[in-house]
Structure formats: structure tokens, C-alpha cells
Amino acid sequence: MKFCVVGPTYPFRGGIAHYTTLLVKHLRECHEVVFYSYSRQYPQWLFPGSTKPDPSMSALKEDCVRTIDPFNPITWFQTAKRIVTDKPDVLLLQWWTPFWLPLMLVISLAARRAKIPILYICHQMIEPDSSPFEVLLARPALRLGDAFIFLTQKDLAIGKRILRDKLIHLGHLPLFDGFPQKGMTRAQARIKLNVEPDEPLLLFFGFVRRYKGLRYVLEAMGQLTHPPCLLIAGEFWEDENLYRDLIRQQKLEQKVIIHNRYIPNEEIEPYFVAADAVILPYINGSQSAVGMIALNYGIPIIATSIGGLAETVRQGETGLIVPPADSAALAGAIEQYFGEQLSGPFRVAISEESSRLSWDALIRIIEELSDVIKS
């Protein structure tokens, strides 16, 4: 089958770029894929972190055609024309932010006129820290699609409400693989990160943004008599001093380590190998690429019942789930995890999750829906 895929990839940063690259990589194992990407991406006002390219020496890369400039509508029409000329069996588009609405409309309308079936993967219907109004912005583009894969039950329900006559399927966010692995041991990882060998260690990884709820972890640790060490590794999109002040207020100066920088791919392994658990205290959102990196490394997760997190993490088996914005509940989960020594049994259960959360499983869903809409 021949696909055209549109989305971000290296040198752009973040989970969607990694996701799209891995999607193309795994699709290309069985299908022909033409990959269209961007020459540049978001403006600074939409991306408060660094706009520098991904610094990874071992970048996730797939061959692509960089035809799309979000600030030059001529390139949208040129890309749409190229897709029509390609004559794919299916055009695979993605939805995660209304910023790309004009581009999606141009490409989708061209595909519809050329009778090219359109399959949308919907990462999130409403962005974190945003408004439900975004659903109305998504509808004009999504109505042009033929089939849809939603990654959470919540978004699936929204999809069924606004796309009643469409083919809709629940998918999943697959394990994020493809990062360099040296087979590092826990002891080696902790030496590299300058963490004590026997210190209980929680990892908060990725961009630090309000919706990810870091403040609730710090408040939770302040409630514990013997808090674990917390390693915060990622680029701050907020004022770091706000969290430094909270750390001092909670008297956690000796328990919190901050690495305020973008972690390149070749340095990801020691952070996850060193950790006893990854903590995802999100207060809103739909899914977490960090969670899928954690599960790929076999690391249990302590998370909140937000979006797809509670669907991905099996409560009491591969991790612990608590209500969002509840530092007391989070403190209880941290205490339970280390007090009951849950790491061992949780890691065994995670090892059995690989097939359910694999890329192969997602590709099968894409193939099944594609067979229906192109027939």
C-alpha cells in the first residue's frame, strides 16, 4: 500500500516529531511511504522553549520532503499538488493543534477532489492548558477525513459526537523506541547522573509546563517523612525560580536535582535506567510520550487519571493512578510504591505489555481502516 504522511520530524523537538518519525519508520517496513514535512514550524509565541534544532547526535530521522512553510500559503498548495500527483492509496494526516488548521484544509480539500482517502490520527482534540472551543476549530478539517484513529477514550467520545457518519477507531500511543541504548546498568546510570546507588529515585522528564503538574510532586514530597530523590530532567517552559522557591519552602533542597536542558536522544537511557519510577502528575492533557518512553525501558509509572494515562497504565499492575491536582493522593502513592516495594512486580507486568502497546498493533489498525476507505 502507498501512503503519504504529513507531519514534523527532526530537527524539530518534542513528542509529535518523534512520533511522526517512528510512525513513518514502522510503516515503511511493509509499505511505500512519501513523507512530507516542514521547513520551519511554530512561531516563538506558541513555543516558549528554545527554538533551536534538536541537538541530538543520534537523531531519529526518516527521509522526507520539506515542502511546507507554515507562513507561506503557496507551499501548502504546492504540497497538496504533489500529494495528488503521488496518487497514494491513503493520505495519513495528524491532528494535535489548531495552528495547522489552514494547512490541513488545503491538503484535505485537494485530496477529496482527487478522490484520495484520508485517514486522520488525532493525538488530542483539546490542547493542554487550552479551551474546549478548540473542538469547533478542529471540525472543519476533520469533516473532510474518511477514517479516524483516536488515542484516548475521551477523545474518541468527542470524535463520535462531531463525526457521527465517519469510520472511527480507538488506537493507542505506542512505545517510544528507536533511542540509542548501550545496555547501561542501573549502577552505571546512577554514576553518570551523580545519584547515590541506593537512593530511591523518581524521574520527572520532559518539558516543564504548567499542565504537567510538577508543583504537586514537590508538595507531595514535602508531606513525606522520608521523601525519595526527585530528578527533574528537561527544558523549563516556565520560570525555574518558581519551582526553586517551592523546593525551599518544602525543605527539599537535598532531595531534588534539576537538569534544566533539552535531553538529547543519546543521553535519554541513563535517566530512565537510573529511575525507580517515572512520575507524571499531569493536571490536564491527553497522552504522554514520556510515559511511553518509560514503559519502553520497563520503568513503572505513577500518574494521574488524565486522558489516556489511566488507559495506558494498569492500576496496581504497571503503575499507580491518582486524581489530578491532589498532592496528598500523590504523596500516598509515592509512599505506597516505595513502602510496598512495587518496582519488581510492576516491571514484570510491564514486560508483558509490549504487544498491546506496540507499533505493530497500531500499524495493523491503520492497515485495516485503510483497506476499508480505499475500497
Q: Using the predicted structure, report yes or no on whether residue 322 has a pLDDT greater than 70.
A: yes
* Residues 239 and 323 both lie in one domain: yes
**Residue 55, preceding peptide bond in cis (omega within 30° of 0):** no
Share of the chain above pLDDT 70, in %: 98
48 — pLDDT class (breaks 50, 70, 90): low
CATH number where 245 lies: 3.40.50.2000
In a domain, 89, yes or no: yes
Q: Each residue of 95-111: pLDDT tens digit? A: 999 999 999 999 999 99
In a domain, 125, yes or no: yes
Grid cell 520551519 is found at 40
In a domain, 12, yes or no: yes
* Residues 168 and 264 both lie in one domain: no
In a domain, 216, yes or no: yes
What pLDDT score was predicted for residue 355?
85
* Residues 204 and 326 both lie in one domain: yes
14 — pLDDT class (breaks 50, 70, 90): confident
Q: Using the predicted structure, report yes or no on whether residue 287 has a pLDDT greater than 90.
A: no
In a domain, 203, yes or no: yes
Contact, 184 vs 163, CB < 8 A?
A: no
Contact, 340 vs 346, CB < 8 A?
A: no
What pLDDT score was predicted for residue 41?
81
* Residues 262 and 214 both lie in one domain: yes
* Residues 205 and 114 both lie in one domain: no
* Residues 309 and 337 both lie in one domain: yes
* Residues 328 and 364 both lie in one domain: no
246 — pLDDT class (breaks 50, 70, 90): very high
Cα distance between residue 362 and residue 2, in whole Å:
17
Q: What would the mean pLDDT of 315-344 be, rounded to a whole number?
A: 97
Closest CA to 316 of 292, 342, 290, 298: 342
* Residues 150 and 40 both lie in one domain: yes
Q: Each residue of 248-286: pLDDT tens digit? A: 999 999 999 999 999 999 999 999 999 999 999 999 988
Lowest mean pLDDT among 48-52, 125-129, 145-149, 301-305: 48-52
* Residues 170 and 191 both lie in one domain: no
In a domain, 103, yes or no: yes
51 — pLDDT class (breaks 50, 70, 90): low
In a domain, 120, yes or no: yes
Q: Domain of 223?
A: 186-351
User: What is the rounded average pLDDT for all residues in the chain?
Assistant: 94
Lowest mean pLDDT among 75-84, 178-187, 241-250: 178-187
Q: Report the SS3 class of residue 181.
A: coil
* Residues 208 and 347 both lie in one domain: yes
Q: Using the predicted structure, report yes or no on whether residue 43 has a pLDDT greater than 80.
A: no
Helices and strands (H and E) in the chain: how many: 14, 13
> What global pTM score does this model have?
0.93
In a domain, 154, yes or no: yes
Q: What would the mean pLDDT of 134-138 be, rounded to a whole number?
A: 89
Q: Using the predicted structure, report yes or no on whether residue 47 has a pLDDT greater than 70.
A: no
What pLDDT score was predicted for residue 46?
61
Lowest mean pLDDT among 123-127, 168-172, 227-231, 323-327: 123-127
Share of the chain above pLDDT 90, in %: 85
Q: Report the SS3 class of residue 238.
A: coil
* Residues 260 and 224 both lie in one domain: yes
Q: Each residue of 63-73: pLDDT tens digit? A: 999 999 999 99
321 — pLDDT class (breaks 50, 70, 90): very high
What pLDDT score was predicted for residue 126?
87
* Residues 365 and 333 both lie in one domain: no
Counting the structural domains of the chain, the total is: 2
